[in-house]
């Protein structure tokens, strides 16, 4: 069957199976504790992993704990996280987030989200400064094993090229659209997310997708369209 004629539900599950086969299935294990995940995700905006980690550990070493970070003079906190981009914006955002959590919960911890229904937890997290849909869904899936699909730039691009979502579907909208097409099982959603992310970083790159090496090319709309015009135009 032509790649473009496959029903989208079928194509989504096929994509999931093919990437499971190519990258092998992963266990869903907590990478780091929830507060670490939350603050690190804020630090990671437009920053590589090494610089984000350096900022995180420098900050905690300098101020001791979350109370210390919350009460630190703004300039000193910005200096501690200076390996990240926009430390001057991130420092007040982190302090405000810590204050809100403390005011609402009486302590600086978000472990209570474990017991909260997924929609309510999403609402709670996205009401924090600097926490968008992507950060909230990563946290809820990775740390609390909630059935939700984080969509980053790679997941979004690969899904669009293969034809799982339309050209006009934004990353925020794609969270919802793709979730409708997948099993509501945290382990499946985790594997789908990580595999699409890896695929986007290694094969389906933004500038020059390696379509001839791609395990999805038989079902990919982009490959189908480009091949009709000559594959060397995108290789
Ligand atoms: S065939 Fe090309 S465009 Fe399609 S998913 Fe693979 S690398 Fe991306």
Are 95 and 77 in contact, with CB atoms under 8 Å apart? yes
Proportion of the chain above pLDDT 90, given as a percent: 86
The larger pLDDT score, comparing residue 102 to residue 235, is at 102
**Mean pLDDT, residues 77-99:** 96
Give the model confidence (pLDDT) of 60-73 as tens digits. 999 999 999 999 99
Residue 235 has pLDDT above 60, yes or no: no
Tell whether the model's pLDDT for residue 231 goes beyond 60: no
Last residue of a domain, one of 99, 117, 142: 142
154 and 179 fall within a common domain: yes
Number of domains in the chain: 2
Q: Are residues 77 and 133 in the same domain?
A: yes
The reply to whether 64 and 14 lie within a common domain is: no
Instruction: Verify that 134 and 211 share a domain, yes or no.
Output: no
Tell me phi and psi for residue 133, to 5 degrees: -60, -40
Helix-helix angle 171-181:153-162, to 10 degrees: 60
Which of 159, 207, 220 to mutate for ligand 1's pocket (most ligand atoms within 8 Å of CB)?
Answer: 220
Q: What tokens were used for 120?
A: 């309510």
The candidate with the shortest Cα–Cα distance to 135, out of 10, 45, 14, is 45
Q: How far apart are CA 149 and CA 188, in angstroms?
A: 10
Which CATH number goes with the domain that contains 170?
A: 1.10.1670.10
When mean pLDDT is compared across 1-10, 38-47, 88-97, the lowest value belongs to 1-10
Which runs of consecutive H residues, i.e. helices, occur in the chain? 8-23, 34-43, 49-63, 66-71, 74-80, 87-105, 118-126, 133-142, 153-162, 171-181, 186-202, 221-229
- In the predicted model, is pLDDT for residue 230 greater than 70? no
Distance 210 CA to ligand 1 centre (A): 7
Are residue 170 and residue 196 in the same domain, yes or no? yes
Give the domain-ending residue among 109, 125, 142.
142
Tell me: pLDDT of 3 over 90: no
Ligand 1: centre distance to CA 158 (Å): 7
Residues 178 and 106 in one domain: no
Q: Which atom of ligand 1 is nearest to the CA of 210?
A: 7
Produce one character per residue of 114-136: b if its CB has 16 or more CB atoms within 10 Å, e if not. eebebeebbebbeebebbebbbb
Query: How far apart, in whole angstroms, are the C-alpha atoms of residue 214 and residue 153?
Result: 18
Please indicate, yes or no, whether residues 68 and 12 belong to a single structural domain of this protein. Answer: no
Rounded to the nearest angstrom, the distance between the alpha carbon of 204 and the centre of ligand 1 is: 5
Express each pLDDT in 31-53 by its tens digit. Answer: 789 999 999 989 998 899 999 99
Ligand 1: residue of 18, 203, 233 to mutate (most ligand atoms within 8 A of CB) is 203
Structural domain that includes position 224: 3-27+150-233
Instruction: Enter the pTM of the model.
Output: 0.89
Instruction: Identify which of 19, 22, 222, 231 to mutate to test ligand 1's pocket (most ligand atoms within 8 A of the CB).
Output: 222
CATH number (domain holding residue 65): 1.10.340.30
pLDDT of residue 1: 66
Q: Write down which residue in 142, 160, 186 finishes a domain.
A: 142
- Do 95 and 178 sit in the same domain of this protein? no
Q: Say how many Å lie between the first and final Cα of the chain, rounded.
A: 24
Do residues 53 and 102 share a domain? yes
Mean pLDDT of the chain: 93
Q: Is the same domain home to 38 and 124? A: yes
113 and 84, same structural domain?
yes
Q: What residue ranges line ligand 1, CB within 6 angstroms?
A: 158, 161-162, 203-204, 209-211, 214, 216-217, 220, 222-223
116: phi then psi, degrees, rounded to nearest 5 = -85, 140
| pLDDT confidence tier of residue 183, bands split at 50, 70 and 90 | very high
On whether both 117 and 73 belong to a single domain, the answer is yes
């Amino acid at each position: 069957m032509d790649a473009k004629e496959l029903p989208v539900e079928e194509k989504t599950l096929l994509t999931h199976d093919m990437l499971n086969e190519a990258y092998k299935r992963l266990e869903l294990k907590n990478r780091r504790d929830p507060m670490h995940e939350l603050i690190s995700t804020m630090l990671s905006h437009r920053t590589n992993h090494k610089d984000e980690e350096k900022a995180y550990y420098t900050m905690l070493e300098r101020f001791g704990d979350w109370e210390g970070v919350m009460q630190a003079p703004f300039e000193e906190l910005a200096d501690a996280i200076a390996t990240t981009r926009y430390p001057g914006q991130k420092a007040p955002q982190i302090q405000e987030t810590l204050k809100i959590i403390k005011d609402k919960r009486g302590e600086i911890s978000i472990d209570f989200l474990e017991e909260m229904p997924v929609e309510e937890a999403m609402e709670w997290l996205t009401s924090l400064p600097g926490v968008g849909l992507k950060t909230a869904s990563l946290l809820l899936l990775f740390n609390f094993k909630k059935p939700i699909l984080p969509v980053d730039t790679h997941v979004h691009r690969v899904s669009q090229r293969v034809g799982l979502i339309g050209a006009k579907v934004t990353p925020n909208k794609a969270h919802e659209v793709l979730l409708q097409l997948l099993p509501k099982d945290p382990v499946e959603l985790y594997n789908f997310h990580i595999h699409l992310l890896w695929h986007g970083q290694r094969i389906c790159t933004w500038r020059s997708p390696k379509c001839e090496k791609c395990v999805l090319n038989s079902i990919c709309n982009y490959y189908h369209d480009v091949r009709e015009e000559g594959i060397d135009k995108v290789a």
